[in-house]
Structures are given as C-alpha cells and as structure tokens.
Amino acid sequence: MQYKIVVHYAELALKGKNRNEFVKRLRKQMRKKLKSIGHDWQVRSIHDRIFVEIPSASKKEAEQAVSELARVPGIAWLSLVHWFPESECHFIRGEDVQPIHDLIAELANETHKEGHSFAVRVKRSDKNFPMSSQDFERALATTIFKNSAWDRVDLKHADQFFYVDVTSQGTSVHTNKVRGTGGLPVSSTGRVLTLLSGGFDSPVAAWLMANRGCSVDFIHFSASHHSLNDVEGYKIARIVKQLSEVTGRSRLFIVPYTHFDMALLEQDLDYDLILFRRFMARVSERIMDEINAGALVTGDNLGQVASQTLENINSMNRAIEAPILRPLLTYNKEDIINKSTELDLFEVCREPYKDCCALISKSPRTKSKHVVLEKMEAEHLSDYEDLIQDTLAETTTLVYNYGELVFKKEAGDEDSYV
C-alpha cells in the first residue's frame, strides 16, 4: 500500500494574488522540517492541497513526520492517507472500486470501538467519477456494517470518520485528521527580533509572531557571563533551541546588562526599570539594523506587573524608531501558560531564573514620560553611546536550526564553532 501525507492550508487560500508565493514558502518550510528529521521527501502542490510523497518509510516514520509537520505554521490540518494512483487504478474511468471497499473494511476493523458511532465522507474533486458522493458513501457504509462490528452511524457527530477523496490524480483514504497550528509560513511576512527573558511570556510572544509568518531572532540581556562551553545549557539557550523547532533558523544574541547596571549604580536614579527598557530597545535597534528586522517584539502584557502600564509602554516606544510589537498585550496569564505547555516550553520556562529586570527594581515606577526620561538620560547617562557600544562589543551569538545548535561565537572570536 502506498502512503502520502496530504496537507490543507486554510487561510492561505484567501491570499488572492499572493497565494502562489505563500504556498511556495509553505512547501519550502515543510521540506526543511522534513529534512531536519532526516527525510528528503518530495513536497508538491496539486490543486489546493500539498502532497508529501513517502517513498519507502515505515508507517511509524510517516506518523512521526505528520506530527512534526503539524507544528509548521501555515497548515490547517493534515492526514496520513492510503493512496491509489489514478494512473494504476482508473477509478474515474469506471474501473472496479473493490480495492477501496477492501481497505475500508480493514480500517473499520482496526478502528472499531464499542459504543462508538461512525460516518463515511466522500469527496469527488473529479466529477467524472461514475458514482455520486452520497451513493458511494452509502455503499462504503454498507461494507463497514457487513465486515466489522461497527453498528451505529451518526452523520454529523460521529466518533470515527472514514474519509475518501477522489481526484484526477488518485484516490486517498484516511481515518484521522491532525490539526495544524494555522497561521502563515515562516519567512512570508518579514523578520522580527524578540526581547527574550527567562519567563513564560516572551517565548510565547515569539511563537505567535512565527505563526504569523515571521522569521524570528532573539536578544537577551544577561546578568551573568556564560562561557561558550556552558552556554548551551543556559536556560535562555534551551528556550531558543526548543522554539527553533518551529521558527527554523534563529539567532540568539546574548548581551551583558552589566554596563548599564554600573552606570545606573553611579547615579541615584528613580525610574531605573523604564530607563533599562529604553536601553534594551536602543541596543536591540542596532542589531535590528544589522539583521534587517522590521520590528522588535516583547512579551509585555498590559497590567500584568506594575511596570506594564500604557505610560511605560509609550516611554519605551518613543526610545526607538522601529515599531515594538506586543502580541500578548491582551492575553490572560492562563492562556499564555496553556500555550507554553502546548509548545513544550512549560518545564524549561518555570525553572528559576534571575532576570535582570527583577534585579533592577522591586517597586518600579508605574507612570513615566518620554520628555522627563530623555532629560534624565542626557544629564545622568551622558555616555549613552559608549554604553551601547560596550554592551554590543560583548555579544555572544548562537544560531539554532530546527533544534540543533549550528554556530556559536563569542565577542572577539574570529572563528565560528560547531
């Protein structure tokens, strides 16, 4: 029996003229994902679906590929199907459909559960097929009744569906639809840089942007120094490693927060947290220029902590020209935690971590004004450009590709590692 993976994309179908470009990118992202798990399989479009050819893999390998592909942004749902090539079976030209009945009987026996109901769904994309969809559904349901223990049909809310799809290329049969995450394929809507901290919020924010088609890189301001030898074990690096299963290729820039901290220590300034936020934005903007990122992303959530006020958001926005996106602004914490569990990030994100924001301010200012902060910065942090340069000069860069570290570099290194 031949297998294939059939992929449906929902939203992409709405994209009008851009549609072909989006579908092309989705196929490319699917190919990359498959390659990352060792499969050089063909991925091609037929009408409004994408087919993955499975040359000679075991069913288990094929099922694993389905669950990996389900994480690729842009996919509405997908299925592992049994495939009857039209060139061999000629069902549309009126050849006997007994092989479909035989397979359905086999699948019925495999899937039967006491007390459950079933339904058969037939779709004919090629109307030359000699039977109407309804007649074929009835005929296949009769086969199921006769050859298995299934005894109850529920057309709308069946526990088990049997799907048959007749197209001019071939006929697919399957029993299981796996939901994808929807959205748009990575790299179709631009590049963003995400401010990544040690909590639950910013990794979920990054995932949301990737699922909206963005390529995502990361920047973290670290309170401690990590040598290149142990950096992979660092919580932040492990979060990026895990996220890169979805984002594909992602860079992580780790910069020290110490220079800014020292500068603040010398002053006795109120507003230290919001001043730091502005500093993070400015350092990030320099990196964004280098990597061609169109926006900065944070995990800010309105009112979640005392500092996350509209005033402070505004003060941070005014520090740089690039837009700052906050995809979690209106989320409830529970939804964020659920999403992080779904993304297999919950365990790593809940590990204790001393983020520098927590070190800075126990009772941060809830209100701030750009003009006041600007004056403060001019008066008390007059070597601002030096602060930015000193911080950037100590950047450690890691690059992950689908869960694998492919490059690491410390400030001053000529060579790349890995």
By beta carbon distance, the residue nearest ligand ATP is 199
305 binds, among Mg ion, ligand ATP, none (CB under 5 to 8 A by kind): ligand ATP
Answer for the pair 184, 74: CB distance below 8 angstroms, yes or no: yes
Q: Which CB sits closer to ligand ATP, 143 or 298?
A: 298
248 binds, among ligand ATP, Mg ion, none (CB under 5 to 8 A by kind): none
Crossing angle for the helix pair 133-147 and 98-111, nearest 10 degrees?
50
CB of 299 to Mg ion, least distance (A): 7
Name the DSSP class of 380.
Answer: H
CB of 301 to ligand ATP, least distance (A): 6
Residue type present at position 214 = C
CB of 146 to ligand ATP, least distance (A): 57
SS3 202: helix
Q: Which stretch of DSSP H or E encloses residue 226?
A: none
Q: Which CB sits closer to ligand ATP, 7 or 193?
A: 193
> Tokens standing for 266?
């010398």
The piece of 113-121, 175-183, 262-270, 347-355 that touches Mg ion (CB under 5 A) is 347-355
Beta bridge partners of 80: 5
Q: Which is nearest to 72 in space by CA: 14, 33, 19, 24?
A: 33
Residue for token pair 């869960």: 403
CB of 353 to Mg ion, least distance (A): 8
CB of 116 to ligand ATP, least distance (A): 42
Site for Mg ion in 185-204 (CB under 5 A): 197, 199
Question: Cα separations (Å) of 408 from 114, 228, 250, 284, 315?
Answer: 55, 7, 12, 19, 34
| Chain centroid, CA 63 distance in Å | 20
- Write the Ramachandran bin of 404: left for phi over 0, alpha for psi from -120 to 50, otherwise beta: beta
SS3 401: strand
Q: Which CB sits closer to ligand ATP, 54 or 281?
A: 281
Our finding on whether 183 is near Mg ion (CB under 5 A) is no
Interstrand relation of 170-174 and 160-166 (parallel, antiparallel or unpaired): antiparallel
CB of 249 to ligand ATP, least distance (A): 20
Distance CA(308)–CA(365), nearest Å, equals: 10
CB of 287 to Mg ion, least distance (A): 20
- State the number of binding residues for Mg ion (CB under 5 A): 3
CB hemisphere CA count around 89 (13 angstroms): 21
213 binds, among Mg ion, ligand ATP, none (CB under 5 to 8 A by kind): none
CB of 199 to Mg ion, least distance (A): 4
Q: Which of 355, 374, 390, 410 binds Mg ion (CB under 5 A)?
A: 355
Beta bridge partners of 120: 162
Q: Which CB sits closer to ligand ATP, 133 or 304?
A: 304
The piece of 138-146, 182-190, 350-358, 361-369 that touches Mg ion (CB under 5 A) is 350-358
Residues of this chain that bind ligand ATP (CB under 6 A)? 195-202, 220-221, 280, 298-300, 304-305, 307, 355-357
74 binds, among Mg ion, ligand ATP, none (CB under 5 to 8 A by kind): none
91 binds, among Mg ion, ligand ATP, none (CB under 5 to 8 A by kind): none
Interstrand relation of 324-325 and 295-297 (parallel, antiparallel or unpaired): parallel
299 binds, among ligand ATP, Mg ion, none (CB under 5 to 8 A by kind): ligand ATP
By beta carbon distance, the residue nearest Mg ion is 199
Interstrand relation of 49-53 and 160-166 (parallel, antiparallel or unpaired): unpaired
Residues that bind Mg ion (CB under 5 A): 197, 199, 355
